[in-house]
Structure 1
């Protein structure tokens, strides 16, 4: 994708509608999950889905004359994005949006929706301010829906930080991606076994349900994947599953076949038990792209491995480099 260098000044923030119609902020895609059937009781503090617990964020990016821009922004607390920034020296036309939460983490009864639209020829990077902490729960559950749409020749890096489920957490996340065949979409998902240094909370959450669906703009299904972990019913601490590893990560790479071949040639598998790290690249169904899977003992190892592959994908898809990571990230 050919892109033009940008000016140094920041783009103005588009108007933000903080009072969007709450009737469309429900999560029907997550309401009928059988693994959540036992967790429908109402919290004593505040009912599930009450005002203040229904977070909504919508970001729409379009290609401008000199760079891509955030042209539409809707937000309802606890989710928040203030504006798009341009700090990536390797890809200065790339708008970067950092999602923050004013709720101090994900709590029981939270219902969150994040919508990201990247128009034709545009690019965007969406990340989170820090780890997603799914707090301990004694009633109900938390759920998040992510809807990502990337048009022809679009480029999206959707790379949130690691998710940490606390003791007793019940959390479901669904990601639905609509990707044009010529688009490149990177979606990261990393989850810790829990607060392993906090009183033996390794795999002490109750439910972790993660699903991903990819379709084409005309509705043609590409693939669906679901990961369901219920440690009390079946422990993940088994050989061939997590065993002694504490973090797993997936980096979904949706990209055209010619880019798949170039990335595959540059990314060898990595397996080092002494360092507590293993990773491998596999091809997705229907020529959709690649999936990097990583397991490690520490979250920074998963992050570093994903970053290595992310750099390769960016170079092959856009011809741009990935600058060195900030020390504070």
Structure 2
């Protein structure tokens, strides 16, 4: 990495390589252990032409109770130049009871760049009985290719004002996961085969959609975090190998 700027509690590891794989792996770490009321994380990523990197969060992102009523904000901006490739491994966002969290993600790609991006949202600390006890959670993701908006995904949960278990909402699901893929090879993917190979059932539902602009979106709804996370990582690894 030619340029790195970091300020505690956020830290980026040096780039790591596995075998002869030219893709660099970089870990993003947060030494504070989580976000508290009013905290803001800003992450900016720029990949020069031909760069290949996989970014992994060291652990789940914990958002603590907002004692002051302020909202925690995480902003991620990524720019991929020609023939660059970025993979962001999915990790869990855990909003504690009475937490307020907003995440804004903007990704801009050159025409021949490749993106694989994952996100998982938990209902809270389920094992402690905190299920949708947070105050609010909003996630907005925008993906541009050559300045053309090809995907806009907005999830906004306010449990106190929403009947999340109703028909057409989350119903019996507790966890929401997404995988986004943008690649010039996306049109060659057999989505029917990917859909039929999904290990769904037993509280896990999933669907695959082809978007305009050489993009694919996979959405997961699950009752069990481990089950959803394992299936998402399987699909993520499969898609990574295909592109």
TM-score (norm 2): 0.92
Deviation at 1:92, TM superposition (A): 1.9
Aligned position for 1:171: 101
Deviation at 1:181, TM superposition (A): 2.0
Q: Which runs of 5+ in 1 are unaligned?
A: 1-69, 318-329
Of 111, 120, 131 in structure 2, the residue corresponding to residue 202 of structure 1 is 131
1:316 corresponds to 2:242: yes
Deviation at 1:79, TM superposition (A): 0.4
SS in 1 for 2:195: coil
Deviation at 1:120, TM superposition (A): 1.2
1:239 and 1:212 map into 2 onto residues whose CA distance is: 25
CA RMSD of aligned residues (A): 1.7
Of 259, 270, 280 in structure 1, the residue corresponding to residue 207 of structure 2 is 280
SS in 2 for 1:108: coil
1:234 corresponds to 2:162: yes
1:183 and 1:93 map into 2 onto residues whose CA distance is: 16
Deviation at 1:220, TM superposition (A): 2.6
Aligned position for 1:155: 85
Aligned position for 1:8: none
Aligned position for 1:32: none
Superposition pairs for residues 112-191 of structure 1, below 5 Å? 112-139=41-68, 140-191=70-121
Cα shift readout 1:191-242 (whole Å, capped 9, x = no counterpart) = 11111111x210011110100111234x232232211110101121223322
- Equivalent residue pairs, number: 241
Largest Rg, 1 or 2: 1
Deviation at 1:271, TM superposition (A): 6.7
Aligned position for 1:78: 9
**Kept after mapping to 2: 8 A contact 1:191/1:248:** yes
Of 174, 182, 192 in structure 2, the residue corresponding to residue 254 of structure 1 is 182
Deviation at 1:169, TM superposition (A): 0.6
Superposition pairs for residues 85-96 of structure 1, below 5 Å? 85-87=16-18, 89=19, 92-96=21-25
- C-alpha spacing 1:272/1:307, structure 2 compared with 1 (3 Å): closer
Q: Which moved more, 1:94-103 or 1:236-245?
A: 236-245
1:211 corresponds to 2:140: yes
Deviation at 1:246, TM superposition (A): 1.8
Q: Which runs of 5+ in 2 are unaligned?
A: none
SS in 1 for 2:82: coil
2:84 and 2:193 map into 1 onto residues whose CA distance is: 23
**Kept after mapping to 1: 8 A contact 2:178/2:218:** yes
